[in-house]
Structure 1
Amino acid sequence: MPDRLSPRTPTEVPASDLVFTAAVGRRARMVSWLAYQQMAADVAGQIRRAHPGAVTLVGILQGGWITAQSLADLLPAATVLAAAARRRGERTDGLELLAAADGLLAPGTPPQDQPLIVVDEVVDSGRTARFFLDHLAPYEPQLACLAASDTADPSPHFTAWSMSDLPALVLPWRVLRDADQMAACLLAAGPLTTTQLDERLRDLGHDIDLDLLERRLDHLAARDRLHRDGDLWRLPGGPDAR
Structure 2
Amino acid sequence: MPDPRLPADSAPVPVPGPVCDLVFSAADGRRARMVSWRAYQVMAADVAAQIRAQHPGPLTLVGVLQGGWITAQSLADLLPGSLVLAAAARHHGGRTDGISLFAATDGLLTPAAPPAGQPVVVVDEVVDSGRTARYYLSQLAPYSPQLACLATSDRADPAPQFAARTMSDLPALVLPWRVLRDFDQTAACLLAAGPLTTKQIDERLRELGHDLGPDLLEPHLAELARRGRLHHRGFHWHRL
Give the deviation of 1:90 after TM superposition.
2.6
The residue correspondences of 1:111-190 to structure 2 (distance < 5 A) are 111-190=115-194
Give the deviation of 1:210 after TM superposition.
1.7
Deviations 1:109-139 (A, max 9, x none): 1011110000000000000000100000010
Q: Tell me, yes or no, if structure 1 residue 55 matches structure 2 residue 59.
A: yes
Give the deviation of 1:231 after TM superposition.
1.0
Give the deviation of 1:89 after TM superposition.
3.3
Give the deviation of 1:209 after TM superposition.
2.7
Deviations 1:160-183 (A, max 9, x none): 000000000000000001101011
Deviations 1:128-163 (A, max 9, x none): 000100000010000000000000000000000000
Q: Tell me, yes or no, if structure 1 residue 211 matches structure 2 residue 200.
A: no
For 1:152 and 1:65, the matched residues in 2 are separated by 20
Give the deviation of 1:80 after TM superposition.
0.5
1:44 alignment partner in structure 2? 48
Give the deviation of 1:40 after TM superposition.
0.3
For 2:156 and 2:115, the matched residues in 1 are separated by 29
Give the deviation of 1:88 after TM superposition.
1.6
For 2:227 and 2:90, the matched residues in 1 are separated by 32
For 1:225, give the aligned amino acid.
R
Give the deviation of 1:76 after TM superposition.
1.5
The residue correspondences of 1:20-99 to structure 2 (distance < 5 A) are 25-99=29-103
The normalised TM-score by structure 1 is 0.87
Which SS does the other structure have where 1:208 is aligned?
coil
Q: How many residues get paired?
A: 213
Identity %: 72
For 2:102, give the aligned amino acid.
L
Gaps of 5+ in 2: 1-27
For 1:126 and 1:43, the matched residues in 2 are separated by 18
Which SS does the other structure have where 1:41 is aligned?
helix
For 2:230 and 2:77, the matched residues in 1 are separated by 38
- Give the ranges of 4+ consecutive aligned residues of structure 1 lying more than 2 Å apart after TM superposition: none
| CA RMSD after TM alignment | 0.8
For 1:45 and 1:207, the matched residues in 2 are separated by 30
Gaps of 5+ in 1: 1-23, 237-242
For 2:148, give the aligned amino acid.
A
2:3 alignment partner in structure 1? none
Deviations 1:67-126 (A, max 9, x none): 000000111110000000001233201110001111111101101111000000000000
For 1:89 and 1:122, the matched residues in 2 are separated by 28
The normalised TM-score by structure 2 is 0.87
1:239 alignment partner in structure 2? none
For 2:116, give the aligned amino acid.
Q
For 1:192 and 1:100, the matched residues in 2 are separated by 41
